[in-house]
Structures are given as C-alpha cells and as structure tokens.
C-alpha cells in the first residue's frame, strides 16, 4: 500500500468510525491494518479470546453483530489489536437488538431515557408509527434552523439532514419534536419539504410530543446516504428558552442556528451539551450577530443532547 493510498484509507476509516455503519467501519479497520481474518483470529486467540472466522466474517458483512458479553469483550480487544480508539467500534453498535415481544416493548421505553424527557411520552408517541426501526439509519450531518417570533416563542424549526443507511431496506425516518411544557400537542405541525413525504403523524394525548413519519421514494442500500428536509411549525403561546437536539447515536456533524425577531432579542445566548443520564450541562456563551442570530457547529457529535439556550432578562 502506497503512502497516498494508506492516507486515503485512513481518511475513509476515520469517517466510518464517526458515523458508521458498524460492519463497514470494522471491515475498513481490518483492511487498513493489513491483517487477514485468520491473522486477526490468531491474535485474539493469543489473548484468550475464542472467536470463529465465520463470526468475524458475519460481523464485517453486516449479517450479524456482537451483542453477547463475550462478543463485546472480543470487540474491545479487536479495537486494541487494530490500533483504534477505545469504544470507537462499540459506539457504532447502538443499543442491543430487542429479542421477544415483551423485551421489545420494555426496550422501547428506554428509547429516549437519559436523552430527552419526558422519555415515556416520547416512546408512547413513537410506537404507533415505529415501523422499521430507526436503528437502520445514522445521522451523517444535520442542520436545524430555528425561528423565534416577537412573542418569544419558537415559530418554526427547519431541519436538513443527510442520513446514512446501515443496512438494506431503510425507507423512512422518524422526526421527533418535544414542545415546551404546557403547550398543546395539536399546535406542533410537521411538514415534509424535500426528498421525503409525510406519512403517519402521532401525538401524545397529554404531553407536547409529536412524531412524524417521513417516507423515502425507495429503499436505501447499505452504506447509501439520503438527503432530506422537513420542518415543524409551532402554533404555541408558551415562550421558549432553548432549542435542543437529542442524539441517540453518534453523528458526524451538527449545526444549529437560532434567529430572533427584532422585538424579542435575548440578553444572552449559550451553547450547551449534556451527556446521557447526566443533569450537568456544559455551557459556553455565543455571540449574537448583527442580523439577530446565533449558531453552534460541532463535529464528531457524541450521544446526548446539544443545543442553544437564551435568557430574556
């Protein structure tokens, strides 16, 4: 492998480690290392890890993935053998695949637990339109454009996203919005704008949560990307104090911009980040531009919550 080829191989590997899918990232890491599957199996055996060639082959071709305790231990050793950052492959797995009817329902209520609250109403609104699991897709890049009106309420959130399909057959995306506490769920109105069409819409009966099914024109191939644009209109009288985006899986990049009406300028704005299951927010102040807007931009976005907050007084 020439130096230029190796550099290109490393760049491709780094991109896959940021956004997945898991099997392509594993395959790229093995190829970049120069090891054969047999050589990798032998090195694992020297460390007391027994893993068959068939399992390694299935993992790198997406036919199965490590889920059991011994398999996850083997994956951590593989990361070390291939000279990868710790947890870089493990993070691409996401939550375990549910098994059985009751396990599936129980896992559903943990879907947003530790990410966005209230987790139970979010899950209850998602279940009627779940269809194919959203674990089939990962966010390659995402941009939110938020408009705050003169009454200090968020009027519109427009989102442009590039999604990567982890496996054959992904044909829809679930857009989820949690409105301000006390707002009417019926006041959260979704719309499809580009490369998708609106399918089923589910609202929670008591909490301001809405889920919109965005349908693609065709099924995506494994590794294929899809660009779409959608928006939510918010006809709610409840003032807003922040815009937040929950990431259940790592994402390659995220941009959020907030635009304020001239008669509703905040005193200060901050970007913030919160890890899953943590109450602590890491904040830093954002400058307000002359056109009354602020923005944040992030690369290698981890699981958790990221957003922009503002103070009126």
* Cα–Cα distance measured from residue 137 to residue 214, given in angstroms and rounded to the nearest whole number: 13
What pLDDT score does 98 carry? 47
Per-residue confidence (pLDDT) for residue 66, from 0 to 100: 87
Under 8 Å between Cβ of 259 and 269 = no
Domain boundaries, the chain: 3-92, 104-311
Distance CA 192, CA 158 (A): 10
Residue found under tokens 């329902």: 105
> Per the structure block, which two tokens stand in for 175?
């857009």
Q: Average pLDDT of each block of 10 consecutive residues along the chain (313 residues)?
A: 66 77 88 92 93 90 83 91 86 57 39 56 62 70 96 96 88 89 89 95 83 92 93 90 89 95 94 79 91 94 91 83
pLDDT at 167: 80
SS3 content of the chain, % helix, strand, coil (to 5): 30, 35, 40
Sheet holding 172-178, edge to edge: 172-178, 209-215, 197-203
For the structural domain made of 104-311, what CATH number should be given? Answer: 2.60.40
Residue 168: its pLDDT value, please?
A: 84
Looking at residue 222, its pLDDT comes to 86
pLDDT at 74: 92
């Amino acid at each position: 492998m020439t130096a230029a080829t190796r550099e290109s191989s490393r760049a491709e590997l780094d991109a896959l480690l940021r956004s997945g899918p898991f099997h392509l990232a594993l395959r790229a890491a093995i190829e970049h290392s120069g090891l054969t599957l047999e050589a990798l199996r032998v090195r694992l055996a020297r460390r007391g890890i027994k893993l068959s060639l068939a399992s390694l082959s299935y993992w790198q071709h997406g036919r199965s993935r490590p889920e059991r305790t011994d398999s996850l231990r083997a994956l951590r050793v593989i990361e070390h053998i291939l000279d990868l950052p710790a947890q870089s492959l493990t993070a691409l797995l996401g939550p375990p695949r549910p098994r059985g009817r009751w396990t599936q329902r129980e896992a559903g209520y943990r879907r947003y637990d530790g990410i966005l609250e209230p987790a139970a109403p979010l899950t209850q609104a998602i279940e009627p339109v779940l269809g194919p699991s959203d674990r089939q897709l990962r966010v390659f890049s995402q941009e939110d454009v938020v408009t705050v009106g003169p009454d200090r309420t968020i009027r519109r959130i427009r989102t442009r996203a590039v999604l990567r399909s982890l496996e054959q057959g992904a044909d829809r995306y679930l857009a989820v919005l949690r409105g301000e506490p006390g707002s009417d769920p019926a006041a959260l109105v979704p719309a499809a704008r580009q490369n998708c069409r609106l399918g089923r819409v589910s609202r929670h009966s008591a909490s301001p949560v809405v889920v919109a099914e965005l349908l693609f024109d065709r099924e995506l191939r494994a590794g294929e990307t899809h660009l779409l644009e959608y928006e939510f209109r918010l006809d709610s009288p409840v003032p807003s104090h922040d815009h937040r985006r929950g990431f259940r899986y790592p994402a390659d990049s995220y941009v959020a911009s907030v635009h304020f009406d001239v008669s509703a300028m905040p005193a200060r704005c901050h970007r913030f980040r919160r890890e899953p299951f943590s109450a602590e927010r890491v904040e830093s102040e954002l400058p307000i531009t002359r056109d009354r807007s602020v923005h944040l931009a992030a690369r290698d976005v981890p699981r958790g919550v990221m957003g922009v907050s503002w103070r009126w007084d």
